[in-house]
A and B are shown apart, each in its own frame.
Chain A
């Protein structure tokens, strides 16, 4: 999450003090991303240097120093909101690697390795769900953050389930000639290094 753009977003609602910005940032992100005070002020200084916000000229680092967004800041924010994050090329996924390696290590059950990760992920999901159950019912921002984590972890578990089933089927009915999966995949989708 870009602190810079989060602060611009908060200032797009109207002028605010430094301390107020910090409190609102924490409230909006469901307190999941704690922010230290220093980060807020150094980011505000940079935003001011870049002409994206203006201050009322009060003493540096004072919690009572007021800030407002400039037209350049508004345009920067609008551009950022509409810039897709880089999801186009898959990241190098450590879990995918572990499963691929487990298939080749003698004496290792890849299904058992998959289950270890599946259990760990479900335990994480249980913790997130507990947060949602206890606190997120009346806090939409927190519920959105928790949902994002749950869907992300859920997708990993679905991949594990599908890998489990695919490997089981392949063991029962092995392909005649196993292709070299990794190099071909890397060429085709351009895995990030």
Chain B
């Protein structure tokens, strides 16, 4: 930046004296661009000469985390944000490596198919860091299988995440690392398989079960640990739509629930009958604070799944909602005791996240991919469209009234539609991603 000579600074400071100071109203209106041209020009003229009024203007400027009043379009990350590209590239690399390994192993035509069948299946599964809802694509379509991960990973702990992480490499996972134990026969596509096992276990030579079925989450399969899924040859199973196709069509694959029931050990966070859609969709382990209780232990929120969501039937009747459209790992969120917001990329390490540059006790959380909403006392509602990198405060207004009570619950079924509940029973809804709000 060009340096201003000292003599110029001196003369600038000692120029003509300012006139009467504008009142607080005018300075406020100036800061909020509410003045007409003439009034603004007068205020700027005064400010150009009055050091004290300049200081008042700068001190009174809103803090960088600008309060976002209704009518302002919140910033949202586009589909091609840099974070998504990075994760997409990582997933593509994993897929390529997995394909190469699988093809290599195919060429080796290992004889000991039986005990390695499960590991083969698991090997084709992407790690827990893989995007939730990504579904295995048929190997015979020259696309490596990917796991849908997030469902079972919540609450699994570091061990299972680590075991899932091993799946990203070409090495064969140990059967003991797999914990999911399917208790119903899995249907395998035998159309291209070389049967080496009379029991119908998939041979490593051919595409494994995941060629037709979406691979269950690695943690679920991990439970199998040495289990030998019984494969049955049914030609009509070949015609069943794969989970990959189902995910692309976002169709309910109810037959899956019949075919695959996995005894995945549910995490404590998964106790509720229905997962909170918003929190589930954002991250497998995203946990949402209980209603109205700051510092409550993370509990999943129950809310009905949106139509068309893929579901996996789990043991004990639990259903997992998979965001089949997601193709990248997502941040996981939770509210720690005391109301601190925490985030984890992958579920291992949780880091505290300051909202707008400061730690605010929060009582409600909803996250959907990169869209995160948090709320606390006195109507404080914050939104981030980039997984917590930047925050904007949102002040819902309806019929001249602002949301000012403590926020105890936030729900977003998708990016557009959301609901905020306050401690005094008010319910505020939005259908345009928080641009406008209505109080019910």
To the question of whether A and B form a pair in one complex, the answer is no
Binding site for B on A (CB under 8 A): none
Measured CB to CB, the residues of B under 8 A from A are: none
